[in-house]
Amino acid sequence: MTEINLNYSQESGHLSLQVLNAFVDGEVWADAGTEIQKHLEDCHACTLRALSVTRLKAATARGAARFATSPEALARLSAQLRTQVAEEHSSAAKQIGRVVRFPARSASSVGAWSALAAAILLAFCFAAWQSFRQANRLTSELLDQHLATLAGSAEPQVISTDKHTVKPWFQGRIPFSFNLPEPDALPPDTMLRGADLVYVEGHPTALLLFTIHKHQVSMFVAQRNSEFAVTPRSTHAGFTLRSATTNELRLTAVSDVNPTELEALVQAVLKVQ
C-alpha cells in the first residue's frame, strides 16, 4: 500500500471515482478504508459502482491472458537471457585475466613484429575462448533441460515406449528427421520412455527420454551446427554428457548413469542414423 493522501471526498453524496478505484485496488490506508466501508454500507449506488469496478478489474485481468507467451517463445527468451548472463560472467572473467598490454605506438620494427605476433596469438586465444564459451553455454543449457526433465514439472508431450509413436510425432515440428533403434537393438535394460520438443540455443531439438536401469537419460537430437559443439565426453555437476555427430545431426545424451552405458546408448542411436 502506498502512502497516498486520498483527499477523501463525498461530492454529490457519493465517493469520487478516484477514491472508489483506489479502494477497489487496495490502495487506501486502514482509516480511510473504514470510512469508505461505512459509506458503502449506507450508499447503495456507491456499492454497485464499487462492485462494477471490481468486476471490470477481474475482466481486464482475464482479457489480458490471451497474450500468454508460447512455450517456444518463452524457451527462446529464457535461452537468450541465460546466454547473456553467461556472456556477462565471461566478460568479467576476461577483464580480470587480461594481462597483455600493447603499446599505443611501437618505435622499433622489433616492437611492431612483437605486437603483431601478440595480436595473432590474442586473436587465436580469443577464437579458442569463444569456442569454449559457446560449448560451455550449450552444455549448461542441456544440463538445465535435463534437470527440468528430472524435476518432472511438466509431463513430456509424448509418453510412449514405441518408436513408431515417438518418431512420427516430430513430423512437422522439427526441420529434420532421425531414426530410432528397435528395442532389441538398445543396450541391456535400456528403454525409450517418451519425447518432447525443446529449444536449445533457440533451435528446435528433439528430446528423447530413455531409462537405463533406474537412471533417466535425456538425449537431444538437433541439426548439426558447426557453430556449436559439445565436448564429446565431459562431466558436469555429477552428470555425464556424451556427444556424437553424423553429417546432419548432433546427438547429445545427459545422465548420471555409468558413462560406459551412456556411451552404448549413444552408439546404438548413432548406428541407425
Torsion of CA 128, 130, 132, 133, to 10 degrees: 160
CB-CB neighbours of 240 under 10 Å: 20
- Give dist(CA 89, CA 137) in Å, integer: 11
Measured at the CA of 138, the angle between CA 183 and CA 230, to 5 degrees, comes to 65
Site track 29-58 with other proteins (rule: CB under 8 A), x = hit: ----------------xx-xx--xx-xxxx
Q: Which is nearer to other proteins, 74 or 118 (CB)?
A: 74
Contact 159, 182 (CB under 8 A): no
Rounded to a whole number of angstroms, the minimum distance from the CB of residue 70 to other proteins is: 8
Rounded to a whole number of angstroms, the minimum distance from the CB of residue 200 to other proteins is: 17
Q: Which is nearer to other proteins, 37 or 84 (CB)?
A: 84
Q: Which contiguous run of DSSP H or E holds residue 127?
A: helix 109-151
DSSP for 27-48 reads: -S-HHHHHHHHHHHHH-HHHHH
Distances (CA, A) of 146 to 14, 160, 210, 229, 271: 59, 18, 12, 17, 23
Stretch of residues binding other proteins (CB under 8 A), selected from 63-71, 108-116, 125-133, 222-230:
63-71
Stretch of residues binding other proteins (CB under 8 A), selected from 80-88, 127-135, 163-171, 231-239:
80-88
Residue from 30, 63, 182, 237 touching other proteins (CB under 8 A): that is 63
Q: Identify residues 84-123 at the interface with other proteins (CB under 8 A).
A: 84-85, 88-89, 92
Residue from 78, 130, 161, 258 touching other proteins (CB under 8 A): that is 78
The residue count for binding other proteins (CB under 8 A) is 47
Q: Which is nearer to other proteins, 53 or 115 (CB)?
A: 53
Q: Longest C-alpha distance within the chain, in Å?
A: 95
- Give dist(CA 189, CA 12) in Å, integer: 80
- Give dist(CA 226, CA 17) in Å, integer: 62
Q: Which is nearer to other proteins, 61 or 104 (CB)?
A: 61
Q: Identify residues 137-176 at the interface with other proteins (CB under 8 A).
A: none
List residues near other proteins by CB under 8 A. Answer: 1-2, 4, 11-12, 14, 16-18, 20-22, 25, 27, 45-46, 48-49, 52-53, 55-64, 66-69, 73-74, 76-78, 80-82, 84-85, 88-89, 92
